[in-house]
Amino acid sequence: MSGPDNRFTIEALVLAFSPPEVPTERPTAEMMQVADRISRHWTSTEVGAWRPGSEIHKREVCRMFRETFNPYRPSAIDWPELTPQELHGVTSLPIWDIAVQTEGKARLRFAAYANSMADPEMRAAIMLNAWEENRHKEVLSKLVTAYGIPLAAEPAYRSPSDVEWSYLVTGYSECIDSFFAFGLFELARQSGFFPMELVETFEPVVQEECRHILLFANWLAWHRANLPWWRRLRFELRVAAVWLFIAWERVGLARSIDAEGNGNGRDSNFTVTGAQAVSPVEIRFRDLIMLCLRENDRRFAGYDRRLARPTTIPWLARLVLWITRPWTQDGRRPRVQSESRG
Ligand SMILES: [Fe+2]
Ligand SMILES: [Fe+2]
């Protein structure tokens, strides 16, 4: 079933989902530090290698996702006071409408796919992912209220008619957007474009996207390994079609159609919009790509090496760096700093 009625059913599933424990009291700075550390480090207690797609692989992926859950509450966030200049920088970013709508769609698409799954462990993990997307939407709603950012009316979210297609499009899109968001977020931190308190407030959301694409990459590996060859062939054709769709969407050819046929293709340019948003900071294209790669490696470094990682976008980024090497023999050092942080 698709359409508005089903959307309410899917939304209700997200809201009714019980995440791992969320404390009711206001967290102390120490509690937040502990939660942050737990969310970015996880090693399985299983000894030895595991086969992608095996029961152990699935169990450990789902355990990783549960155990790295960060129990922050959007309503308990203290939004830092900004100077007039900082406030102007934050409120004039042209990304807030798109960010809210992207989270609004993602929670429904993930929940719809989770709801279609037979495996209870994987279903719970992907439903938790949907719940966290809904929490991102809440965080953004609190932020725009705190800083008086006007938002356009949200479109009517539709439930996906093809849940696997929508899940794949959203999952792969998150892999692309997160890769660039990691670098842009670090760039905004280094440049002071975002004040430090706001960077710290948003940090759990950015790391959560890292966990999401880690889950997606491992779901893919698990799902692929358990398909008989004829369904695997169909699935790979579908994955190829998803990449083509995303590429088509992102070069702006799909302005009037998205995964559900909505008449709003603005979300397809989220990464470009984000890059323009931090354009006051002078950085060369190759330096930005290198920063994205470094941040990508840093954010994934704390998770068990046996878990699959998203590989396509980092591979493409390295390919772009290799292809553009001849244009960089000017002896200038990159302007972005290289820092090792937790
Ligand atoms: Fe999100
Ligand atoms: Fe996400």
Q: Is 96 a member of any domain? A: yes
Q: Which of 299, 263, 284 is nearest to 330 (CA)?
A: 284
* Cα 329 to ligand 1 centre (Å): 38
The pLDDT of residue 95:
84
Tokens of 2: 């698709």
CA of 330 to the centre of ligand 2 (A): 39
Closest-CA residue to 33 (of 67, 77, 72): 72
| Residue 329 identity | Q
How many distinct structural domains can be found in the chain? 1
Residue 30 forms part of a structural domain: no
Ligand 1 center–CA 142 separation, angstroms:
15
* Gap between the Cα atoms of 101 and 79, Å rounded: 21
> Using CB atoms within 10 A of its CB, is residue 173 exposed (0-12), middle (13-18) or buried (19+)?
buried
11 inside domain: yes
Question: Is 123 part of any domain?
Answer: yes
User: Would you give per-residue pLDDT tens digits along the chain (342 residues)?
Assistant: 444 456 667 777 777 777 777 777 777 888 888 999 999 999 999 999 999 999 999 999 999 999 999 998 888 888 999 999 889 888 888 888 889 999 999 999 999 999 999 999 999 999 999 999 999 999 999 999 999 998 888 888 888 889 999 999 999 999 999 999 999 899 888 888 888 888 988 899 999 999 999 999 999 999 999 999 999 999 999 999 999 999 998 887 445 444 444 444 444 455 555 555 654 556 788 888 999 999 999 999 999 999 999 999 999 999 999 998 877 665 454 455 544 454
What is the predicted pLDDT for the residue at 176?
95
**8 A C-beta contact, residue 110 and residue 126:** yes
Instruction: Please check whether residue 175 lies inside any domain of the structure.
Output: yes
Give residue 64 CA to ligand 2 midpoint distance, Å: 16
| Distance (Å) from CA 29 to ligand 2 centroid | 25
* Phi and psi angles of residue 293, each rounded to the nearest 5 degrees, phi first: -65, -45
Structural domain containing residue 93? 4-19+50-75+82-328
Q: Rounded to the nearest whole angstrom, what is the distance from the C-alpha of residue 312 to the centroid of ligand 1?
A: 20
Distance from the alpha carbon of residue 105 to the mean position of ligand 1, in angstroms? 10
Residue 164 domain-assigned (yes or no): yes
140/145 Cα distance (integer angstroms): 8
Integer-rounded Cα radius of gyration of the chain: 20
**215 alpha carbon, closest ligand:** 2
* Amino acid sitting at position 127: M
Phi, psi of 80 (to 5 degrees): -65, 150
Is residue 263 domain-resident?
Answer: yes
Which pLDDT value is given to residue 238?
A: 98
CB 265 within 8 A of CB 255: yes
94 is a domain residue:
yes
Residue 211 has what pLDDT?
98
| pLDDT (0 to 100) of residue 264 | 43
Answer yes or no: pTM beyond 0.85: yes
User: H or E segment at 111?
Assistant: helix 96-116
Q: Are 174 and 106 in contact (CB under 8 A)?
A: yes
CATH number of residue 308's parent domain: 1.10.620
Give the ligand with the smallest distance to the CA of 211.
Answer: 2
